Amino acid sequence: MPLTVLSSACRLKPVWRLQRIQAHMMSGHVEPEVLLEKAGRAAVITMNRPKVLNALNLSMIRRIHPQLQKWESDPETDMVIIKAAGGKAFCAGGDIRAVTEAGKVGDSLAQDFFREEYMLNHAIGSYRKPYVAIIDGITMGGGVGLSVHGRFRVATEKTLFAMPETAIGLFPDVGGGYFLPRLRGKLGLFLALTGFRLKGRDVQRAGVATHFVESKKIPELEQRLVGLKSPSDSDVSRLLESFQTQSDLDSDKPFVLDKHTSDIDRLFGSSSMEGILQNLKADGSDFAKKQAEILSRMSPTSLKVTFRQLQAGAALSLQDVLVMEYRLSQACMRGHDFYEGVRAVLIDKDQNPRWSPPSLDQVSDRFVDDCFASLGENDLKF
């Protein structure tokens, strides 16, 4: 259906939808997990697994990455738009249940998924044509990797952003070690360690999104983007800014962390993970107590690894960060906490992970060093 639908077509939509469903059932047709289409001179990627919040799996990565490369060298393609079907999620993360199942039995998916996902993240970060991610819904983990490294990221009031990996014994990967320390002050470290959720306009205010556009205006925005002729980055930017100007929803509300910004910079400004917890416990404010309680539930190993990841990533290129993060991913696959976190949060859902080691002081510097060690011939290569 075209982006602009006549009122008569709207009245026919329920009948047309029923016919599509009946045809689908009769044919046994399986919907593609990701749609790769051209609309004029724009290429459009649509995440198409709405029933699982558009979770990213290896087969989707293997469809998106080579097509992105083709479009980049195609003179008939001017820009790429990535969006999602379903209206609830852009992409709620990677298909990590499949990854942990693979890790338990020594299947190569435990290496292939992270390697190929990170290579896709790098391709997006170095893309030579305008890349517009419309993150209209839940955007976490793998969904962040598909969007945040692109030149333009458009949030709506339905956007929910988080990097919740420390709660499952992982770390904020997909280039989190690159973009998080580049947010203002200690905001990125705070988001990485606590998994704090940003919503709507706050995703743009934090610097994760570049623009904010009300969800009801997205169809028109897509139509206008597709209509641009040989657009430069500045052409796309001007169009997005014009739509942002028309979107005044929640513009009068302050940034959710406004009153805590100086506290975050002070409390999370320590030179060690232990120092941050000491700061929080010594502070005594309600905000500090709440953060200390949240961090007490996270994997101690993940907290220490994440702290060092962002510390190192602040001075590295995206490519070098992804090499580092691949090493960390494989350390997680060799370890205990990732499997235990996925069990407690996603499988049994008892929300009671038994971390090993169970406390920060038992996670030695040597153990953390080993997580960052080169994998030799198995290192990620671009």
Candidate list 93, 94, 137, 335, residue with the active-site label: 94
Cβ neighbours for 6, distance < 8 A, ≥ 6 positions apart? none
- End-to-end alpha-carbon separation of the chain, Å? 39
Token pair belonging to 211: 């623009």
Please report, as a single letter, which amino acid is at residue 350: D
Cβ neighbours of 326 (radius 10 Å): 22
CA within 13 Å, CB half, 228: 25
Residue 142 annotated among the catalytic residues of the structure: yes
Q: Where are the beta strands (DSSP E) in the chain?
A: 34-39, 42-47, 79-84, 89-91, 131-135, 138-140, 152-155, 160-162, 198-199, 211-212
* Burial (CB count <10 Å: 0-12, 13-18, 19+), residue 88: middle
Cα distance between residue 113 and residue 65, in whole Å: 13
Cα distance between residue 308 and residue 304, in whole Å: 6
Residue 165 annotated among the catalytic residues of the structure: yes
| C-alpha closest to that of 41 among 90, 78, 13, 15 | 78
Candidate list 173, 202, 214, 337, residue with the active-site label: 173
Candidate list 103, 137, 141, 142, residue with the active-site label: 142
CB contact at 8 A, 120 and 165: no
Candidate list 78, 136, 165, 325, residue with the active-site label: 165
Cα distance between residue 232 and residue 15, in whole Å: 41
CB contact at 8 A, 47 and 84: yes
CB contact at 8 A, 344 and 350: yes
* Three-class DSSP category at 144: helix
Cα distance between residue 50 and residue 131, in whole Å: 22
| C-alpha closest to that of 302 among 358, 232, 252 | 358
CB contact at 8 A, 78 and 228: yes
* Three-class DSSP category at 155: strand
- Residue length, the chain? 382
Please report, as a single letter, which amino acid is at residue 13: K
Would you please indicate which residues are annotated as catalytic (active-site) residues? Answer: 94, 142, 165, 173
